[in-house]
Homo-oligomer: A and B are copies of this chain.
Amino acid sequence: MLFVIDPTAAEPIFEQLLHQIRAQAMSGKIAKGTRLPAAKDLAETLGINLHTVLHAYRELAAEGVISLGRGRGAVVNIDPLPEAIGKKLENVVAQAKAEGIELNAIISLTKEIWSEK
């Protein structure tokens, strides 16, 4: 379970963490039922504030990605994405990156496609 935080990035820290946990849960890298590190520990490991980790945890819980509880910790609560879709996405993203397309551009397009269909 590896997370990388860049405090200088434009994206807020709690969102960086949020994205990484969600992505790893969806890809199956973190299996359903796995307990995430205690917020306090994770905060120390990553060198960020406890509240920032809790912020990410709370949002993930609201989405249903994890379940949260005092004394129980944060447990992954979703099944991984169907492998077919994951592979296709990997493919497209890798190809786009190879063509020199920016991440933001892909995300813009994804949002546009999503809102149209």
Binding site for B on A (CB under 8 A): 18-20, 22-24, 26-27, 63, 81-82, 85-86, 88-97, 99, 101-114, 117
Contacts and interface: CB of A to CB of B under 8 A. Distances in A.
Protomer copies: 2
A107 B108 contact: no
Contacts of A114: 93, 97, 103, 106
Contact of A111 (B19, B82, B90): B19
Contacts of A101: 26, 81, 85
A102 B117 CA distance: 13
A46 to B, nearest CB: 16
A4 to B, nearest CB: 8
